[in-house]
Amino acid sequence: MRTFNYSFLKDKKWDSEILGLVSQIHEYKGRQELYLKQKPAVSNKLVEVAKIQSTEASNKIEGIVTTATRIKQLYQEKTTPKNRDEQEIMGYRDVLNTIHENFEYIPLRSSYILQLHRDLYQYSEKSIGGRFKNTQNYIAETHPDGTQTVRFMPLEPYETPEAVDAICESFNQILDSCDIDPLILIPCFINDFLCIHPFNDGNGRMSRLLTTLLLYRCGYVVGRYISIESKIEKTKLKYYDVLEQSGIGWHEAKNDPTPFIKYLLGVILAAYREFESRIDLFDEKLSAVELVRRAIGEKIGKFTKSEIMELVPSVGKTSIENSLKKLVDEGAIIRHGTGKATFYTRND
């Protein structure tokens, strides 16, 4: 079995793109702390929207879906799951809430990872929660004709517990030493976690939950307010591509995690930028129509009612519908299509 020691990162020379991404994230992190002190009520409104989006997006990446209405009802505990997908969505909801509320008290150890995985499947009929894999799994590509090609062969089951212990131990040691920026260290850990693929099922969702946990523990809490999972879901082809690139030569410890590091840093930076954009939209003194007008000013090209609802979660659905109608009547925006196919464009 390969060994794991993140101390090699201390001697690695990073290109200007990675250094630039890290520097920008540090700047946004500092500004975010000021925003949160200045507008605590606004930030609280963003949290609930981000939680729902994260739960929906992370499951959607794995093909676990339900309607937007059902997602919201499940998240707000206003209904019970009616199928296997919804059972797993509820599990993700609970684990995400656990991380949001208790990240300072969840150390990175295999025992805690197993407990989080257990809770991911607490509503499921599957009996795999909280246990490492007992059969060999693999990462495959499914072709249009239904055939599959193995893209990556993870570690075997008997190697898995020791490997997870090793990546956790090395991560904690290097983090404590302060020799490596956490923004570099976290993607390397997540890349190794996915290459180990420690569970029979749920590896992708667990990797994204662990990304959130580690970012929070290192002080990067943007995921509380802007869904990182949603940004990954929207770029999932690139997500899979960089993971494949970063896994080449992994078994021989000759892989280069740079593609995945750049990708994840780009996602984090995009989340910080969106946080500033969204929080600037909020102003308690503005009417609903003026808030919607301000949100529309941030959009380029086509936009939908749902997109505006995401930008101004403090405004109810009916108020947004009325505001859009008023702006159409004013000639500020143009409505296209009907029913579910409706979208709008600015008229400036």
pLDDT digits (tens, 9 = 90+) for 193-246: 999 999 999 999 999 999 999 999 999 999 999 999 999 999 999 999 999 999
Average pLDDT of the chain, as a whole number: 93
Q: State the pLDDT at residue 40.
A: 77
Distance CA 32, CA 222 (A): 8
Averaged pLDDT for residues 337-344 = 93
Averaged pLDDT for residues 102-112 = 98
Within-domain flag for 86:
yes
Is residue 248 pLDDT above 80, yes or no? yes
Within-domain flag for 74:
yes
Of 186-200, 235-249, 264-278, 283-297, give the lowest mean pLDDT range. 283-297
Within-domain flag for 140:
yes
| Number of independent structural domains in the chain | 2
Q: For residue 83, what is the DSSP state?
A: S
Is residue 41 pLDDT above 80, yes or no? no
Q: State the pLDDT at residue 283.
A: 59
Averaged pLDDT for residues 293-316 = 88
pLDDT digits (tens, 9 = 90+) for 320-334: 999 999 999 999 999
- Could you say which of 265, 281, 297 is where a domain stops? 281
Within-domain flag for 136:
yes
- Which stretches of 178-316 are DSSP H helices? 182-196, 203-217, 228-234, 236-247, 258-281, 288-296, 305-311
The count of residues in the chain is: 348
Helix (H) or strand (E) holding 334: strand 333-336
3 state SS for 15-82: CHHHHHHHHHHHHHHHHHHHHHHHCHHHHHHHHHHHHHHHHHHHHHHCCCCCCHHHHHHHHCCCCCCC
In a 13 Å sphere around the CA of 136, the CA atoms on its Cβ side amount to 7
326 and 253 in one domain?
Answer: no
Q: State the pLDDT at residue 6.
A: 96
309 and 214 in one domain?
Answer: no
243 and 205 in one domain?
Answer: yes
Distance CA 172, CA 165 (A): 11
